[in-house]
Amino acid sequence: MTERSSSLPPGLVLRRASAKDIWSIRKLVLSEKLDPTQVRWQQFWVIASEAHMVACGQLRNFTGAQELSSLVVVPAWRKRGLGTFLAKHLIQEATLPLYLECLGQELAMFYTHLGFVPVSWQDLPQSLKFKFGLTKVGKLLRIPVVIMQYQRLPR
Ligand SMILES: CC(C)(COP(=O)(O)OP(=O)(O)OC[C@H]1O[C@@H](n2cnc3c(N)ncnc32)[C@H](O)[C@@H]1OP(=O)(O)O)[C@@H](O)C(=O)NCCC(=O)NCCS
């Protein structure tokens, strides 16, 4: 992966979401067919200009664990480091063991570069086993769902 900038392009800021962001967040999440049922703006961070939201992502809280989810960058801004920037921020904000699930090995590589490693469903904290239970169904349906845990940032 190419070296990513440690700062945002001019005009964009990283900030906590506020109540007025909810429809922009829902739009981003739905545009990528991600789970729209657990979208609570209080858990989100966004990257935005004054006019538009260009990226969002959230940390969901479970007993003894957190989940990084709903990470989306609008297509026009992809491959410019924003996804990495926001994911790194969410990792820094996390205070408990951090997990995620993603679709496909290629996307898993994106998270591997951020310090995540694949884990098995059996090794998940109990609180996440139910949430990620659909993964087992996904495997049955041969959908390549990958569950990952944050370990460390690679050198
Ligand atoms: C995944 C996503 C957030 C990455 O955002 P981004 O701003 O493009 O990411 P960055 O610019 O920081 O990094 C891009 C790198 O990640 C990799 N990457 C990003 N998305 C990828 C995907 N869907 N599949 C495979 N590789 C991907 C690319 O290989 C790229 O590396 P390269 O430039 O060396 O080729 C963005 O592609 C997106 O919104 N995808 C749709 C929603 C989604 O799938 N979210 C993840 C839910 S688990």
Mean pLDDT of the chain: 90
Q: Is the shortest distance between the CB of 72 and ligand 1 below 6 Å?
A: yes
**Residue 5 predicted with pLDDT over 80:** no
Pocket residue to mutate for ligand 1, from 59, 78, 132, most atoms within 8 A of Cβ: 78
Distance 116 CA to ligand 1 centre (A): 14
- pLDDT, one tens digit per residue, over 25-35 is 999 999 999 98
Judged by DSSP in three states, 59 sits in strand
Our answer on whether the CB atom of 110 is closer than 6 Å to any ligand 1 atom is yes
Q: 128 lies in a domain? A: yes
Give the CA radius of gyration of the chain. Answer: 15
Report the pLDDT averaged over residues 15-19: 97
Checking if the pLDDT of 150 tops 80, the result is: yes
Return the half-sphere exposure (C-beta side, CA atoms, 13 A cut-off) of residue 101: 21
% of the chain beyond a pLDDT of 70:
88
Look at residue 142 in the predicted model and tell me its pLDDT.
63
Q: Are 72 and 34 in contact (CB under 8 A)?
A: yes
The secondary element (H helix, E strand) that includes residue 118 is strand 116-118
- Residue whose tokens read 């310090």: 115
pLDDT tens digits, 97-145: 999 999 888 999 999 999 999 999 899 999 999 888 765 555 555 668 8
Q: Has residue 7 been placed in a domain?
A: no
Q: Is 8 contained in some domain?
A: no
Query: Which residues form the domain of 47?
Result: 13-150
CA-CA distance, 138 to 22, in Å (whole number)?
29
> What's the 83 CA to ligand 1 centre distance in angstroms?
6
Residue 98 lies in a domain: yes
Ligand 1 atom at minimal distance to the Cα of residue 84: 12
pLDDT score at 78: 97
Greater pLDDT, 111 or 6: 111
Element (H, E) at 65: strand 65-73
Task: Indicate which CATH number applies to the domain containing 125.
Answer: 3.40.630.30
Cα 77 from Cα 142, distance rounded (Å): 31
Q: For residue 103, what is the enclosing H or E element?
A: strand 98-103
80 located within any domain: yes
Question: Which distant-in-sequence residues (6+ apart) come within 8 Å of 124 by Cβ?
Answer: 65, 99, 132, 147
Would you say residue 7 has pLDDT above 70?
A: yes
CA of 140 to the centre of ligand 1 (A): 26
Q: Is 89 in the pocket of ligand 1 (CB under 6 A)?
A: no
Could you give the residue ranges of the DSSP H alpha helices within the chain? 22-31, 82-93, 105-112, 126-131, 134-140
Mean pLDDT throughout 3-14?
A: 82
Name the domain count of the chain: 1
Ligand 1, atom 32, residue with closest C-alpha: 1
Residue 117 lies in a domain: yes
pTM, full prediction: 0.90
